[in-house]
Amino acid sequence: MRKLLKYLKGYEKETILGPLFKLIEAVFELAVPLVVANIIDSGIRSGDWKSVLLQCLLLVGLAVAGLAFSVTAQYFSAVAAVGFATKLRHALFERVQRLSYSQLDTLGTSSLITRMTSDINTVQNGVNMMLRLFLRSPFIVFGAAVLAFVVDPHSAVTFVVVIPALCIVVFAIILASIPLYEKVQRRLEGVLGATRENLGGARVIRAFCAENREKKNFEEKNKALLIMQKAVGRISALMNPLTYVVINLGIIALLWVGAGQVNKGIITTGAVLALYNYMSQILVELVKMANLVIMITKSFASAARVEETLAVQPDVPALSDSGQTGVDESGVRFENAALRYSGAGEDSLSRISFSAAPGETVGVIGGTGSGKTSLMHLIPGFYLPTEGKVYINGIATAAWDRAQLLRRIAVVPQKAVLFSGTIRDNMLWGDSAADDAAIWKALEIAQADQVVRDKGGLDAMVEQGGRNFSGGQRQRLTIARALVRSPEILILDDSASALDHATEAALRAAIATLSPKPLVFIVSQRASSVMHSDQILVLDDGTIAGKGTHKHLLDSCKVYQEIYRSQFGSEEEMA
């Protein structure tokens, strides 16, 4: 939690004024029992009703002033807490955006969502409560104890016994519940992950009639969360009854001792009532403190998870200015590159070596699971090779500044993703400075211009995920978005799978007319999509099984021959 306090910078005034106003309000509250005692002893006993009235007006004044200071304190605390959470959430989101795919895989999407929402909200509430009550409650507890000694030292000995007993109860429950709250958050991640998978794969689940199995899985995760929440709830639930037992025993002892003091004429009835009120204030504040402690316990558990994420350093270091000078090489070059995903037992890619020059078209083909997408992820540095090197313009991807590298590369992933907003908004993701002419040119090359016109132009709305477009339309729009950037390297990762052969052929022909023509990687399972490429890489089980032109591979690569014949029959039949 200490490392996160830097995000309170800029809210120093609110951080100081919030607790300060709460302490002033606490002073007014501590004065109330003394005024009540004075009403009883000097007003009611002597029948001085004018004095009683003035003292009652004083109580009203203390209440109004206390309310004003309390509202002001809560305002400052809320401003500081919300501002803190906003800066923290921005910092966490920025850090997540800088992480590599490998790091995102390790942390997990569900975990990151939980940390960015539930955990930060919990930390925000903890900061708010700390600013409001962390000083106020102890101040009233010890202030009431001190004033009790001022009223009657003999009777106030009860406070010396009660307060430590209450502290023991509170801190024992804290120590027992802290690790359990961390486990609750982990179980919550499991529920969130199951929910996310079921919502995202609802159609697949229904297609395989797996609803009952997924319900059972979801119920098991919910049950695990419920069991853990019950365990921590049972411990936390002991807080109020135990504190009430201790306080009520203290009140009984206080009244018994106080009654003896009154009979002896040492103190007055009003003084006993003041002592009782101070004991009641201690009860209320310790209950508040108990709830505060529970909240702080949750906050510390959540803060530790947020700190853990912020502590993850992006594994793509920045390149110094001197490292980019004097590089004559251009294009893409792989040198014995290998990739093993985090937690995997074996390499997904191994011994990958090839080079591609600017302006070339490189086809990448292979069976499902052969490593085509993994190979493409190495080029923009989404994953770093676990062995070997990948060079872009003569510089290893590990040495590139990510922003500089990605400005040169446009990737169209397998899953076509559009964002809610207008078509223009989506196109500007490629280049925020692009004008309408550049957007329309990209749409024409991507064979999507007629789609946009039919929808009503660039200002037509796109629903979340692009669900108001067909699969083929989404693919063409995502290709257009990449072309708006005018990239040096264009990666089409099986991004034309929903297009018919004629549209795909027109798309390839249009890309070939670009000037300057980018280095294009076309990933596909269709031989027709890659057969006209300058070179074709044939992947099989994570290795390059063949490399060359279509004609060369038909003569020399068995894997390519099998793919080709499975789609077109024999070469004679194709002819």
Long-range contacts of 80-83 (CB under 8 A, 24+ apart): 80/8, 80/11, 80/14, 80/15, 80/18, 80/127, 80/128, 80/131, 81/124, 81/125, 81/127, 81/128, 81/131, 82/124, 83/8, 83/10, 83/11, 83/14
How far apart are alpha carbons 181 and 174 in whole angstroms? 10
Tell me, what's the pLDDT at 5?
83
Tell me, what's the pLDDT at 488?
93
Tell me, what's the pLDDT at 46?
66
Higher pLDDT, 260 or 70: 70
What tens digit of pLDDT does each residue of 423-464 get? 999 999 989 899 999 999 999 999 999 999 999 999 999 998
What tens digit of pLDDT does each residue of 173-189 get? 777 877 787 788 788 87
Tell me, what's the pLDDT at 406?
86
Among positive and negative, which fits the CA dihedral 168, 169, 174, 180?
Answer: positive
Higher pLDDT, 496 or 354: 354
Question: What Cα–Cα distance (Å) separates residue 140 from each residue in 134, 151, 543?
Answer: 11, 16, 72
How far apart are alpha carbons 523 and 362 in whole angstroms? 8
Least confident of 17-21, 50-54, 90-94, 407-411: 50-54
Residue with tokens 């209450």: 166
- Judge contact between 484 and 430, C-beta under 8 A: yes
Tell me, what's the pLDDT at 165?
85
Share of the chain above pLDDT 90, in %: 37
β-bridge mates for residue 412, sequence order = 492
How far apart are alpha carbons 361 and 550 in whole angstroms? 12
How far apart are alpha carbons 488 and 358 in whole angstroms? 8
3-state SS, one letter per residue, for 8-26: HCCCHHHHHHHHHHHHHHH
pLDDT exceeds cutoff 70 at 573: no
Three-class secondary structure of residue 551 per DSSP: helix
How far apart are alpha carbons 237 and 433 in whole angstroms? 58
| Closest listed residue to residue 305, CA positions, set 36, 156, 119 | 119
What tens digit of pLDDT does each residue of 265-317 get? 787 788 888 888 888 887 778 777 777 877 887 788 888 889 988 988 876 55
DSSP secondary structure string for all residues of 118-169: IIHHHHHHHHHHHHHHTTHHHHHHHHHHHHHHHH-HHHHHHHHHHHHHHHHH
Average pLDDT value for the chain = 86
Q: Let me know how many helices (H) and strands (E) the chain has, helices first.
A: 22, 12
How far apart are alpha carbons 286 and 271 in whole angstroms? 22
pLDDT band at 320 (very low <50, low <70, confident <90, very high): very low
At residue 229, what is the residue type?
Q
What tens digit of pLDDT does each residue of 89-127 get? 999 999 888 887 778 878 888 788 888 888 899 999 989
pTM for the model = 0.68
Angle between helices 49-98 and 12-38 (to 10 degrees): 160
Q: Is the omega angle on the peptide bond into residue 516 within 30 degrees of 0, that is, cis?
A: yes
Q: Determine the average pLDDT of the residues in 240-265.
A: 82
Tell me, what's the pLDDT at 267?
78
pLDDT band at 341 (very low <50, low <70, confident <90, very high): confident
Q: Determine the average pLDDT of the residues in 2-16.
A: 87
- Judge contact between 547 and 566, C-beta under 8 A: no
Higher pLDDT, 101 or 384: 384
Tell me, what's the pLDDT at 326?
42
- Judge contact between 168 and 238, C-beta under 8 A: no
Phi, psi for residue 102 in degrees, rounded to 5: -60, -45
pLDDT exceeds cutoff 70 at 468: yes
Angle CA 510–512–518, to nearest 5: 120
- Judge contact between 356 and 376, C-beta under 8 A: no
How far apart are alpha carbons 120 and 108 in whole angstroms? 17
Least confident of 1-15, 34-48, 86-100, 525-539: 34-48
Three-class secondary structure of residue 73 per DSSP: helix
Phi, psi for residue 350 in degrees, rounded to 5: -155, 145
Domains and CATH numbers, the chain: 2-310 (1.20.1560.10), 327-574 (3.40.50.300)
Q: Which structure tokens are listed for 452?
A: 């946009």
